[in-house]
Amino acid sequence: MESTPQPPRFFFPKEEKLCSKRIISYLFEHGHSFGMGVFKFFYVTDFPKEWMEVPVQTAFAVPKRSFRHAYMRNRLKRRMREAYRLHKHDLISSVEAQESRLAIFIKLNGRRELPYPPIEAGIKKGLRKMQRIIAEKNSAEA
């Protein structure tokens, strides 16, 4: 009996959450960044593979300076995580294909609360750009 390809599972497990202080400090010391709409994406790919079990780990931030109330920061981070969770699969598959590791830190730069659709569009565009950057990096190495 032939096995059909499994559809992507839309989870965001703990292993994919960027929590390691070592990776986060390395990310901000040696990483790169780009802006996409109201988001700023920080990323790093050149760190030891032993530091991470999964191909991609991600963290999200909303500054307290711009959003004083915790409920609003939490709401925005929840929307960012949801958009990432639904659109991460292409990025993860391209990172797995190149057998590398990727750490991403996504920060919201806006000063007013955004509804979900613009957040989703910004995260989606940022992940596509991240995919292109990784593909260009690996084609330059080859």
Q: Quick: pLDDT tens for 43-63.
A: 998 888 899 999 999 999 999
Residue 1 reports pLDDT greater than 60: no
Per DSSP, 17 falls in state B
Is residue 107 within a helix (H) or strand (E), and if so which, with residue range? strand 102-108
Cα–Cα dist 8/69, whole Å: 35
Residue 117 reports pLDDT greater than 90: yes
Q: What share of the chain is helix, strand, coil (3-state, %, to 5)?
A: 50, 20, 35
Mean pLDDT of the residues in the chain = 91
